[in-house]
Amino acid sequence: MKLLQLVIVLISVCAPLCGPDLALAQQNATGQTAPPAVQGFSVGGGLKVDLHIPEGAQKAGLFGIARPARYPVIVYVHGGGWIKGDRAKVYHLPEYARSRGYILASVDYRPVPRTNIDGQVADVVKGINWVRNNIAKQGGDPSKIVIMGHSAGSHLVALIAARKLGGRLAGVVANDVQAYDL
């Protein structure tokens, strides 16, 4: 009987450690919703970037004069077998990133057969460059950009890193990131 009580106590204590972090759980419990993405920044060629920004980000001030950049940035590249998907397929990444002090930028790329893999790489690079050149206005740090992809997006991220096309990057996550509960 005492062993059963001990097991129950241990499960009760350890279970919360396996779930989402406490701040996110409290936010969800109070019914507050995360701020919506700043959507549809055009990067040219019909491509766009959505930004998911933490609430406390210091955006550009009066007359567009940027305040000091603070937040590191994750540029996310969606999956879809190179033929489908879009920048809105971010799953739980915005909440996860914002709760940890990151800006999440989700980029578009044209599907095959509208272009080929090299064209998709060029599209993602265009998105990365747009983020680098504009993120300070949204409270981000252009010197702290990590690129991350899921599935086909992971492949594109790996190609960009291997070919050194993304400029100076703080990191690369070329992995099937949706397999994790982020």
Q: What is the pLDDT along the chain (182 residues), one digit of tens a residue?
A: 565 454 444 444 444 444 444 333 334 443 444 456 687 899 999 999 999 998 766 555 555 555 554 899 999 999 999 999 999 999 889 999 999 999 999 999 999 999 999 999 999 999 999 999 999 999 999 999 999 999 999 999 999 999 999 999 999 999 865 666 55
Q: Measuring CA to CA, which residue among 125, 123, 86 is closest to residue 106?
A: 86
Is there a single domain that holds both residue 167 and residue 81?
yes
Cβ–Cβ < 8 Å for 23, 99: yes
Please state whether the peptide bond connecting residue 113 to the residue before it is cis, i.e. omega within 30 degrees of 0. yes
Q: Kindly report the number of other CB atoms within 10 A of residue 96's CB atom.
A: 20
Is there a single domain that holds both residue 118 and residue 175?
yes
At residue 177, the pLDDT reads 59
- The count of domains in the chain is 2
Is there a single domain that holds both residue 65 and residue 153?
yes
At residue 27, the pLDDT reads 41
At residue 70, the pLDDT reads 81
Query: How many angstroms separate the Cα of 42 from the Cα of each of 67, 143, 152?
Result: 23, 21, 22
Q: Helix or strand or coil: residue 100?
A: coil
At residue 13, the pLDDT reads 40
Is there a single domain that holds both residue 68 and residue 89?
yes
CATH of the domain at 63: 3.40.50.1820
Answer yes or no: pTM beyond 0.85.
Answer: no
Is there a single domain that holds both residue 15 and residue 71?
no
Is there a single domain that holds both residue 24 and residue 40?
no
**Residue 61 and residue 56: Cα distance in Å, rounded?**
14
Cβ–Cβ < 8 Å for 138, 51: yes
Give the CA diameter of the chain: 70
Ranges of H-type helices in the chain:
2-18, 22-29, 93-99, 117-134, 152-162
At residue 6, the pLDDT reads 45
In which domain, by residue range, is 11 found? 1-33
- Residue 115, token pair as written in the block: 């272009």
